[in-house]
Structure 1
C-alpha cells in the first residue's frame, strides 16, 4: 500500500477534530507531514498534536507547496479562499482535497470546476456524506420498491448556543451564500441527490431565526428532480427552540417505500416496506446501519487516496461538478425565497 504524505492547509477545528484522527486511523495509507496556518502559532500547536517537526510548519502557503515531501494538500480554509488555494496547488503540481462547500458563490464554484477540468490532478471536494454507510444498506432496497415517484428529506434540530463551529468568525459573518444553509445543507443535498437524482427546479422559502447565523438559517422547499417526473420536499435548519433532532430521508416508490433515519448517528436504521397498496403491504423491515465513528470521512479519504495513487481523478466521488450542484441548489433556494417562493431552475454547468 502506498502511503501518501499529507500537507494540512488550515489547522482549525475540523482539522483537529476529524481530519487528523482519520489520517491517524489509516497509517498504511496516510502520514500528516506538514501544516500551514497564516497564524504560525496555531500551526505549531497543531503540529505538536500531529507529530509534525517544526521545520515542516509554515505560515507561507507557497513554502509548504514547494515541499517535495508533500504528496497532496488537504485544505480546510474559509470557503472564500478555496479557488485561490486550488490554483496554487495545481500550479505546484499537487492534488488537493478541499473542505466543502465548493466555494463562496456560484461564480467561484464555476471557476473551481474549470480549474479541475484543466488538470489531470485529482481536485476533490471533501463531502463525507457521499460515503455514509447507510448508502450501501439502502441501495439494494430501492430496486424493491419499484420506480421512485417522490421523496421527503427533513434535517431539523434545536439551536446549539455553545457550538464550537458557531464561534468561528467566518461563520458568524459569512461571505459564502446561505451561511449555515450551504455550510451544512450541502451535506444533506449530497445524500439526497446521490440517491434520488439532481434537482432540476425548486420552490423555496427561507428565514433567519438566529442573529448568530449571520443570514437565513432555515429552508422549506418543494423539488422537481431534473429530467424526471420525481417530485419531493427538502427541509433543513437547526435554528429552532427545544425539539428533537430529526434527520431522515423517505423515498416513495410504486411498490413500497424506504426510510433512512440518521437522527441518532450511533443507532441509525433503514426501514423498508414493500407492496403496491395497503392491502399488499408486507411487514416493515428494519436494517441497522453500521456505525462509522468518522461518519464517512475515513472512506472519503481512502477514495481520494485511490484517485491520487492511480492518477485517475474520475475515481473520486466528491468531484467539483457534484459539489457545484450541491451549492447550486442552495443558490436556487435563496433565489426562490427572494421571489416569494417562485419556481427557480437550478443552475447547471
Structure 2
C-alpha cells in the first residue's frame, strides 16, 4: 500500500499555502491521502482544492462521522505522517495524539502557546517518540526561506565584518475585515500575545538564522492600541546576542494605515558594511515570471576602501523548502538542521519575554531553564 500523508486542519493556511506548496515540489511530495477537520464543510473545501491542485482526491474525515473521525484516520497504516495546522491552543494535544498513533509530525508554528508547554512537548518527544524513529519538525517557513538563509551565509562569510548591531522592523496594518482576523480562534485568542505570538515567531526565526550568534537577553515593552487585537498588538524590544551585538526588534499589528508598513525590513550592520533583507518582487530567472522575492542588499567596503553594493533577488520558497526538509527527514535521506523543535522554542521564548519584560532585562535561557 502506497505511503502518504494527511492534513489535520482545514483552515486558510492549509488551503492557500500548504496545498500549493505540495503541488510546487511535485514528485518530492508524498500523496495527500486524507484530510481532517471538526467541520465537514471546511474539510470538504480543502479536499476539493487538493483534488484540483494535486490531481488526487483525499479521503475526508471529520467529527460529525464516528466511522470517519480523527481516530479512524490515525489508525490507517498507509498514512505515515501528518501536517497539523490547527489553532495554537489545540496543537499540543493533537501533536501527542499523532505521536501515540506512530505518525511523523509536521506541526504549524509556534511549537506551543508558551515556553512551559513547548518545553514539556520537547521533553516528551525526546523521551518517548524520538527513540522510536518518529520525526518532528515545526513548520516555520521564515526559518527555511532561502533569502534569509543566504543573508546569514553572507554574514558568516564576513562580508560585512563582525556584526555590531541590528534592526528588525515589522509594522503591520490589520483591520477587522482581514481574512486572517476573521479566523474565529484569532478573534478571541486563548494564548498570549495574539497576533504577536502567531506572527512574531516568523520574525524571530528569520533573525535567528541570519545572526551568527544567538540572542541571549532582552528588555521590552508591550501594549494594546486597537481593542480588537487583544491581548497585545505592539512590542518594542532591545535585544543582545551572545557575541555582544545588540539591536532593536519592532513589531506591531496596529499601524493606523497600510502606508506605515512601507519600509519593513531587517537591517544588520557590521564593522565593514551592512546588509538588509526586505520583501519585493522580481522576474524569476528560472521561470521567466515575476513573483515574490526576498531582496538581499549588501553594502561593504573592499580592500581599497570603496563601498560596493550587491543586490540578490532570492525567490520566495520557504514553505516548499520546509516541506522538502521534512519529507527528506522522514525518508531517511538527510536532515538539513532546520525546523527543529529546539529552534522553535527559542522563538517562543523571545516573544514571551518581550510580552512580559515590562522594561526588565530578561535572560532567555533562564526563561527556558525555569520551565524545564
> Which of 297, 320, 328 is equivalent to 1:271?
297
**Equivalents in 1 of 2:71, 2:82: separation in Å?**
12
Residue pair 2:166, 2:266 contacting (<8 A) in 1 also: yes
Output aligned runs, 1:29-40, within 5 Å.
29-30=28-29, 31-40=31-40
Q: Secondary structure at the match of 1:121?
A: coil
**Aligned mates of 2:62, 2:5 — CA distance in 1:** 14
Sort the Cα spacing of 1:57 and 1:287 in 2 relative to 1 into closer, same or farther, 3 A.
Answer: same
Counterparts of 1:17 and 1:271 in 2: how far apart (Å)?
30
Q: Does 1:323 align with 2:344?
A: yes
Listed as ranges, the gaps of 5+ residues in structure 2 are 64-68, 282-290
Q: Tell me, which stretches of 5 or more residues in structure 1 are unaligned?
A: none
Cross-structure match for 1:288:
312
Q: Tell me how far apart the structure 2 counterparts of residues 289 and 115 of structure 1 sit (CA, whole Å).
A: 41
What corresponds to 1:26 in structure 2? 25
CA–CA distance in structure 1, aligned partners of residues 302 and 219 of structure 2: 30
In structure 1, distance between residues paired with 2:57 and 2:297: 49
Q: Which TM-score applies when normalising by structure 1?
A: 0.90
Distance, in Å, in 1 between the alignment partners of 2:329 and 2:141 is: 16
Counterpart in the other structure of 1:78: 87
Q: Distance in 1 between matches of 2:32 and 2:301?
A: 51
Q: Secondary structure of 2:78's match?
A: coil
Inter-CA distance 10–61: structure 2 relative to 1 (3 Å threshold) = same
- In structure 2, the CA distance between the partners of 1:55 and 1:348, relative to structure 1 (3 Å rule), is closer
Task: Report the TM-score, using the length of structure 2 for normalisation.
Answer: 0.85
> After alignment, is 183-192 or 47-56 more displaced?
47-56
SS in structure 1 opposite 2:27? Answer: coil
**Counterpart for residue 348 of structure 1:** 368
1:182 and 1:228 map into 2 onto residues whose CA distance is: 26
2:355 matches 1:334: yes
Residue in structure 1 matched with residue 205 of structure 2 by the alignment: 190
Number of residue pairs matched by the alignment: 338
For residues 1-349 of structure 1, what are the structure 2 equivalents within 5 Å? 5-30=4-29, 31-51=31-51, 55-59=59-63, 60-118=69-127, 119=130, 120-142=133-155, 143-196=158-211, 197-225=213-241, 227-242=242-257, 243-245=259-261, 246-262=263-279, 266=292, 268-275=294-301, 280-283=305-308, 285-292=309-316, 295-310=317-332, 315-337=336-358, 341-346=359-364, 347-349=367-369
